[in-house]
Amino acid sequence: MRQIPRGIWVLLAANVVIALGYGLIAPALPAFARSFNVSFTAASAVVSAFAVMRLLFAPATGRLVTIFGERRIYLIGLLVVAGSTFACAFAQGYWQLLLFRAAGGVGSTMFTVSAMALLIRMAPAEIRGRVSGFFSAGFLIGSITGPLIGSALVGFGLRMPFVVYSIALIIAAAVVATQLRDQGGRPDPSAAPQAGVISFRTAMRNSTYRAILTSNFTQGWSSMGVRVAVVPLFITDGLDEGPAMAGIALAVYAAGNVAAIVVAGRLSDSYGRRRVMLPGLAIAAVSTAVLGLASNFVVVLLLCVVAGIGSGLFAPTHQAALADVLGNRQQGGSALAAYGMSSDLGAVSGPVVVGFVADRAGFGWAFTLTGIVAAVALAMWSFAAETAPAVVGSGPHLTEVDRDTTEPD
């Protein structure tokens, strides 16, 4: 099996540091906002502002990557988040904290879109699934361990996690800047047309790309939104369990996620993206839909680990499929930006919509709705074309994908 290039390992290591930092400041941010004597709603707005700015700035980021290159925008994004996080540590009022944290969302979408573009450019076609699996696993590991470290740092004051994270980001930027000098530079305007960026309008003619957007939206809605915001409420308010039990449920979900991610990428490289995506989405849809009907905590734990396995199967697989569709072209542009936006849109809207349904109709209907979202993605993937090079051919861009992309709807 082909070895993963050294440059990708550099990018994967930086991804772990970034994800670690997200979790690092998670325990401190709401409490820090509340220290300025604001309401719970205002404190939550500081968290939401980051996600909203990611969503709003994504289209502009795609254009910037196209003009200036992936590596440059990636580094600028890291430095923007480092600067905004460091500024948060010294905020003297609520509105300063809100402004600085929102600015971090701009930098976050810059390095997120750029990182995906770099992975698409650098990953050999035959191991795209494997690379995507490592990318997803690294983010998950960082997200799990970050809150543990952050909780310890809070003992030194609510501002300390922000300082530590900003320093870690500067170190990560320095490593990427020195170790990836020959990757993701400014695009060559004289490049051949077939090496150019795929636009969103062109990509939307591809059945697989449309399926990727729906599954990534599902990932944001269920795994990044509903799981974090609504599952703990179901356990504490619906089952009358303590907050510690909610933490156990999230940890069990993460364990199932990691177990599936480890094998999903390799399986999709060998047997095809659809053969991994379809069962993953089906497992996630069913286990999530019935979660709200669980009457005891043991059943909830079982369903959480099953849902984690389902999510772990499709999360890295649709990333690899995206690389198949776009190919090793000069990346960025609206097609890649839309991919990132689909997840952010799900993460922002999911908790709000599902929380509203839970208030009005109960947790059973709330989780059924989330299962339906996954079922829609399952339906889209049922009609998607296979893209894995090992299954449909070889080369920088697959003939079947080209044909599917150029056909009218």
**What pLDDT is stored for residue 408 in this prediction?**
35
Q: Which of 294, 209, 214, 219 is nearest to 257 (CA)?
A: 219
Q: Among all chains, which residue has been given the structure tokens 């999510």?
A: 311
Q: What is the Cα–Cα distance from 8 to 6, expressed in whole angstroms?
A: 5
pLDDT of residue 63: 82
Question: In CATH, what class is 196-409?
Answer: mainly alpha
Would you give per-residue pLDDT tens digits along the chain (409 residues)? 577 778 888 888 888 888 887 777 876 777 788 888 887 667 767 877 888 888 888 888 888 887 888 888 999 999 999 999 999 999 999 999 999 999 998 998 998 888 888 888 888 878 888 888 888 888 777 777 776 777 777 778 888 888 998 998 999 899 888 888 776 555 554 444 444 567 788 889 899 999 999 999 999 888 766 777 678 778 888 888 876 787 788 778 888 888 898 899 889 988 999 999 999 999 999 999 999 888 889 999 999 999 999 999 988 899 889 888 887 554 556 788 888 889 888 888 888 888 888 888 888 898 999 999 999 999 999 999 998 887 775 444 443 444 444 343 3
Structure-block tokens of residue 4: 């993963």
pTM exceeds 0.75 for this model:
yes
CATH code, residues 1-179? 1.20.1250.20
Residue 299: which residues within 8 A CB-CB, separation 6 or more? none
First-to-last C-alpha distance (Å) of the chain:
38
Distance from C-alpha of 52 to C-alpha of 390, rounded to nearest angstrom: 38
On whether the CB atoms of residues 46 and 30 are closer than 8 A, the answer is: yes
Q: What count of other Cβ atoms lies within 10 Å of the Cβ of residue 177?
A: 15
Write b or e for each residue in 99-126: b if 16 or more Cβ atoms lie within 10 A of its Cβ, otherwise e: bbbbbbbbbbbbbbbbbbbbbbbbbebe
Q: Are 242 and 216 in contact (CB under 8 A)?
A: no
The residue behind tokens 């974090």 is 228
Residue 185 per-residue DSSP state? -
User: Which pLDDT score, from 0 to 100, does residue 211 have?
Assistant: 95
Which candidate, 160, 115, 151, 152, places its Cα nearest to that of 135? Answer: 115
- The answer for 185, left when phi > 0, alpha when psi is -120 to 50, beta otherwise, is beta
Distance CA 317, CA 216 (A): 10
Domain boundaries, the chain: 1-179, 196-409
Which pLDDT does position 28 carry in this prediction?
A: 78
pLDDT for the residue numbered 355:
81
Buried b (16+ CB within 10 A) or exposed e, 242-258: eeebbebbbebbbbbbb
Residues 6+ apart with CB under 8 A from 7: 122, 179, 180, 183
Round to whole Å and give the CA distance between 53 and 286.
32
